[in-house]
Chain A
Amino acid sequence: MILGYLLLALALVATVGANVLFTLSRRPGRATLLKAAKGAVVTAAAGVVGASAYLAYLIATHQFQVAYVAEYSSLRSNKWYLFAAFWGGQEGSLLLWAFWNALLGVVLAYRSGEQRTSRVWPIYGIAQVFLLGLLLLKCPFYVPADKAVPADGRGLNPLLENMWMVIHPPVLFLGFSSLLAPFAWAVYGLAHRDWDGWARSAFSWSLFSFATLGLGLALGGYWAYETLGWGGFWAWDPVENSSLVPWMFITALLHGIAVQNKNGGYRVTNFVMGVLPFATMFYGTFLTRTGVLADFSVHSFSSLGKDGFIFLLTGVLLSLLVPLGLLVWRFKQIPKPPAYERVWTREFGYFLASALLGLIGLITAVGMSAPLFTKLWIEKGAAPEPTFYNQATYPLAILLTVGMAVTPFLAWKASDVDSVRRRLLLPYCVAILLTIVMAGAAMYLGLRKPWQLLLFATSIFAVLANAVLILPRLKHRSSRRTLGGFVAHVGAGLTLAGVACMVAFQQSERQVMLVRDRPLDLMGYRLTYLGQTSHPFDRDNNALRIRVEKNGRVWEARPRFYVAPWAGKDTEFGNPPAVLPSLYSVQRPADIQKLLPWNNPFPWGDLYIAASTGPQTAWTGEDGQPKHSNSGFFLKPQEPRQFGDYTFMLLSLDLDEKAKEAIQKGSPAAMNALPTVTFKAQVGVDWRGEKQEIVTAEFVLDQRAGGKFSNPVKIPGPDSRETLLVLLPPTDEELNSSKAFEALPFQTMNAEDPTEHVYIEISTKPLIGLVWAGPILYTLGGLVAYRRRAYEMGILGTKESPLPDNGDDAAEPEAAAGAAAKSAAKPSA
Chain B
Amino acid sequence: MKPAAWVGIVIILGALAFSSKAFVTNLTPYLTFEKARQAPRSSTVQVMGALDKKSIRQQMGTLAFEIVSKEGDRMPVSFKQQKPANFEQAIEVTAIGRFDGATFRADRLLVKCPSKYQGTETKEYGASQKA
Residues of chain A touching chain B, judged by Cβ–Cβ distance below 8 Å, are 230-236, 294-295, 297-298, 300, 302, 340, 343, 348, 351-352, 355-356, 359, 363, 366-367, 370, 374, 378-388, 390-393, 395-396, 399, 499, 502-503, 510-511, 513, 568-573, 612-613, 626-629, 706, 731-733, 759
Contact = CB atoms under 8 A, between A and B. Distances in A.
B116 interface: yes
The number of chain B residues touching the other chain, given as a range, is: 35 or more
Interface string B111-128: 001111110011110011
Contact of A759 (B25, B82, B88, B122): B82
B117 to A, nearest CB: 6
A570 B85 contact: yes
B42 interface: no
B123 A300 contact: yes
Given A234-B130, A392-B19, A573 B85 contact: yes
Given A379-B30, A384-B23, A396-B15, A570 B113 contact: yes
Interface string B57-77: 011110000000000000000
B103 to A, nearest CB: 17
Top 5 A-B residue pairs of the complex, sorted by shortest distance between their CB atoms: A388-B26, A392-B19, A391-B22, A232-B130, A298-B124
Nearest to B121: A300
B41 to A, nearest CB: 15
Contact of B89 (A234, A627, A731): A731
29 contacts: A231-B127, A295-B122, A351-B4, A352-B7, A363-B15, A366-B19, A378-B29, A379-B30, A382-B28, A382-B46, A383-B27, A383-B28, A384-B23, A384-B28, A385-B44, A386-B128, A387-B26, A392-B15, A395-B18, A502-B131, A510-B127, A568-B116, A570-B115, A571-B86, A573-B82, A627-B58, A628-B60, A628-B61, A706-B116
Contacts of A230: 127, 130
Contact of B117 (A386, A568, A573): A568
A356 B44 CA distance: 29
A383 to B, nearest CB: 7
A499 B131 CA distance: 7
A384 B29 CA distance: 8
B51 to A, nearest CB: 12
Contacts of A367: 23
Contacts of B23: 366-367, 370, 384, 388, 392
A499 B130 CA distance: 11
Contacts of A731: 88-89
A297 B61 CA distance: 25
A408 B127 CA distance: 40
B38 interface: no
A383 B26 CA distance: 9
The interface residues of chain A, by DSSP majority, are classed as: mixed
B101 interface: no
A272 to B, nearest CB: 14
A235 B128 CA distance: 8
Contacts, number: 155
Given A382-B29, A386-B130, A295 B110 contact: yes
B94 A295 contact: yes
B131 A234 contact: yes
Contacts of B18: 391-392, 395
A374 B27 CA distance: 10
- Scoring B22, B80, B131 by chain A CB atoms within 10 A of each residue's CB, the highest score goes to B131
A374 B28 CA distance: 11
A527 to B, nearest CB: 16
A370 B24 CA distance: 11
Contacts of A343: 2-4, 7
Contacts of A571: 85-86
Given A232-B130, A390-B131, A573-B85, 7 more contacts: A234-B131, A359-B12, A363-B15, A511-B80, A613-B83, A733-B53, A759-B61
B89 A388 contact: no
Contacts of A236: 130
Given A511-B80, A568-B117, A503 B131 contact: yes
A701 to B, nearest CB: 11
A388 B130 contact: no
B58 A629 contact: yes
Nearest to B60: A628
A572 B123 CA distance: 11
B128 A385 contact: yes
Contact of A385 (B12, B30, B110, B129): B129
B130 A392 contact: no
B9 to A, nearest CB: 10
B107 to A, nearest CB: 9
Contacts of A393: 19
Most chain A CB within 10 A, of B83, B121, B128, B130, is at B130
Interface in B27-58: 27-30, 44, 46, 48, 53, 58
B85 A386 contact: no
B33 to A, nearest CB: 14
A391 B15 CA distance: 11
Contacts of B44: 385
Contacts of B3: 343
Given A395-B18, A511-B61, A378 B30 contact: yes
Contact of A569 (B27, B115, B124): B115
**Residue among A384, A502, A612, A613 facing the most chain B CB atoms (10 A cut-off):** A384
Nearest to A366: B23
Contacts of B53: 733
A788 to B, nearest CB: 29
A72 to B, nearest CB: 13
Point out which of B48, B58, B124 has the most chain A C-beta atoms below 10 A from its C-beta.
B124
B130 A235 contact: yes
Contacts of A385: 26-28, 44, 128-129
A319 to B, nearest CB: 25
A271 B78 CA distance: 52
